[in-house]
């Protein structure tokens, strides 16, 4: 029992350090994050941070992985059966994937950092590909259900329509994230719903709901 408690405390401390690193990456940019600042934010000593992460690069990489895994568990793991219709599920997926202020905007900022690092560091590319794979499969689940039930109509396969959904959310989400004056998050949501509604033969209002 003592060993179990110690392992739990150790994991909690490691997660607290990773969350602190994620907050600093999102607010200040990955190049400005230092071990000492992470330690201060995590209410830990620099020695304790180095106990879990031998280098700054290891800490930053693990922070990006932590952000991805946490978001994946919270969003992609939800059961489809909880949704009353395919349109409702797809609407939930769209809303959960755009950079709304708060946790979702922070996750987006961290994922942009991950994408940039994956361009320069081939060892991170499988992680980025896995993120996109799960992201795409989530959309495909709802789209395929709607096509099978007749709620959606299209001659295109669900996999291709899921790629379209991801492309729309990514492209418009980036514009909202960088504060494009013509595309805020609300406008991005409307445009995604309009284009997906057209592709799926469904009223875009079904993908917007109450907002």
DSSP label of 16: H
Q: Are 102 and 108 in contact (CB under 8 A)?
A: no
- Mean pLDDT value of segment 72-92: 73
Q: Dig out the tokens for 80 from the structure.
A: 């489809």
Is pLDDT above 70 for 81?
Answer: no
Is pLDDT above 50 for 211?
Answer: no
Q: Are 8 and 43 in contact (CB under 8 A)?
A: no
Average pLDDT, the chain: 87
For 114-133, the pLDDT digits (tens) are 888 889 889 888 878 887 88
Q: Are 15 and 23 in contact (CB under 8 A)?
A: no
- Mean pLDDT value of segment 13-34: 90
Among 35-39, 103-107, 195-199, where is mean pLDDT lowest? 103-107
Is pLDDT above 50 for 195?
Answer: yes
């Amino acid at each position: 029992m003592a060993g179990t408690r110690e392992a739990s405390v150790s994991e909690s401390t490691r997660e607290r350090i990773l969350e602190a690193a994620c907050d600093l990456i999102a607010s200040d940019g990955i190049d400005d994050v230092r071990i000492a600042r992470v330690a201060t934010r995590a209410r830990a000593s620099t020695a304790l941070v180095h106990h879990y992460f031998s280098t700054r690069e290891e800490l930053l990489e693990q922070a990006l992985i932590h952000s991805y895994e946490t978001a994946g568990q919270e969003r992609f793991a939800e059961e489809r059966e909880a949704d009353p219709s395919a349109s409702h599920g797809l609407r939930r997926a769209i809303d959960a994937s755009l950079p709304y202020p708060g946790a979702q905007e922070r996750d987006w900022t961290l994922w942009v950092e991950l994408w940039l690092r994956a361009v320069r560091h081939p060892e991170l590319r499988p992680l980025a590909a896995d993120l996109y794979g799960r992201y795409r499969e989530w959309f495909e689940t709802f789209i395929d259900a709607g096509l099978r039930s007749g709620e959606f109509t299209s001659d295109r396969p669900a996999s291709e329509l899921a790629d379209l959904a991801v492309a729309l959310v990514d492209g418009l989400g980036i514009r909202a994230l960088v504060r494009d004056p013509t595309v805020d998050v609300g406008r991005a949501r409307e445009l995604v719903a309009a284009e997906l509604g057209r592709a799926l033969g469904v009223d875009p209002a079904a993908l917007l709901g109450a907002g």
